[in-house]
Amino acid sequence: MSSNSVPRVSVIIPTYNRVKMLERSIESVFLQSFKDWELIIIDDASTDETQERMTALAKKEPAVNYMRIPKIEGKGISEYLNIGLRNAKGEYIARIDDDDYWCHKDKLSMQVDFLDKNPEYVVVGGGVILVDENGDELFKYLKKETDEEIKSFALFSNPFTHATVMFRKELALKLGGYKNLEHVEDMEFWLRMGKVGKLYNFKEYFITYMTAGQNKSFLQQRQNSRTVVDVVKMYRKDYPNFYKAFALNYTQYMYSFLPVFIKKRLQSFMYYFKRKNF
């Protein structure tokens, strides 16, 4: 962790009532080979032991900034992420969620080096390993790599997995940070960033993501897919293949209206298909 007053990287973790998983996420940050970072923990007024444990951690580790934020009515995760952005000292922002952990010890080092050497790039990400509640691998996937590939498929599916990214803080703030969307606030953010700079995904697996116990309800999935359709329409003139992407995402939205027993049978396949292909 950084001993400097101005670290190169600010790592932002939003959290709510997941202290045990949160501590595993934090450990993966401490295990990074790159040490010039600060860790900003944004706590959405958790009612478990998060406050006690994170307060103790912040007292012991100067690089940890624990911020307990009262409930903000009418605001989703975007507002908490923007609080992290506004309080970040680093040139670069890295994101991780409280239920994920970085599985590549050089993740930060690789991304900092890439952004330092390529000033035209504004967001970099990487691949994902999905595991069940026992930690057993289900499957893994890599996102499109080059700027051209990413932008060609950007409207089909989220071009980055949020917990793998690093991006330039100054530009993010200049563009207004995350928009107050109930869903896919990150997808909209990457599309906005991609209009002014280049995008890249490493062909490396950076994050381990546990799917069990945290899947969105089918109602939330419907709302999520509806928002994706809206975001795709919002950027129809900025990225190619709008009509094909719209058709795919609208089909997924219509799928959300199928009976629950059908969706349960198809859900794993749909999840796998979209991430493996887009």
Q: What is the DSSP string of the chain?
A: ---SSS-SEEEEEEESS-HHHHHHHHHHHHT-S---EEEEEEE---SSSHHHHHHHHHHH-TTEEEEE----TT--HHHHHHHHHHH--SSEEEE--TTEEE--TTHHHHHHHHHHH-TTEEEEEEEEEEE-TTS-EEEEE----SHHHHHHHTTTS-SS-GGG-EEEHHHHHHTTSS---SS-HHHHHHHHHHTTSEEEEEEEEEEEEE-TT-PPPHHHHHHHHHHHHHHHHHTTTTSS-HHHHHHHHHHHHHHTTS-HHHHHHHHHHHHHHHHHH-
Domain that holds residue 251: 218-277
Residue 3 counted as domain residue: no
Q: Note whether 179 and 270 are same-domain residues.
A: no
pLDDT given for residue 219 in this prediction:
61
222 and 151 both lie in a single domain: no
* Same-domain pairing of 127 and 257: no
pLDDT of residue 213: 45
Q: Are residues 57 and 125 in the same domain?
A: yes
- Using the 3D structure, point to which of 210, 239, 262 is the last residue of a domain: 210
Which of the listed residues 210, 230, 251 is the one where a domain comes to its end?
Answer: 210
User: Is residue 4 in some structural domain?
Assistant: no
- Please report the pLDDT score of residue 18 as a whole number: 92
Given 159, 188, 210, which residue is the final one in a domain?
210
Say which amino acid occupies 200.
Answer: Y
Based on the fold, state whether residues 115 and 228 are members of the same structural domain. Answer: no
For 20, 27, 33, 103, 164, the CA distances from 130, given in Å and listed in that order, are 19, 19, 23, 11, 13
Q: Which of 188, 196, 191 is nearest to 121 (CA)?
A: 196
106 and 179 share one domain = yes
pLDDT of residue 216: 53
In a domain, 32, yes or no: yes
Give which of 189, 131, 202, 203 is closest to 158, Cα–Cα: 189
Whether residues 138 and 62 share a domain: the answer is: yes
- Are residue 57 and residue 157 in the same domain, yes or no? yes
Weakly modelled stretches of the chain, pLDDT under 70: 1-4, 73-75, 212-219, 268, 271-272
Tell me, what CATH number does 197's domain have?
Answer: 3.90.550.10
Residues 15 and 147 in one domain: yes
Number of Cβ within a 10 Å radius of residue 165: 26
Whether 151 and 239 share a structural domain: no
Are 250 and 176 members of one domain? no
Same domain, 188 and 236: no
The tally of domains found in the chain comes to 2
pLDDT, one tens digit per residue, over 121-141 is: 999 999 999 988 788 898 899
Whole-prediction pTM: 0.92
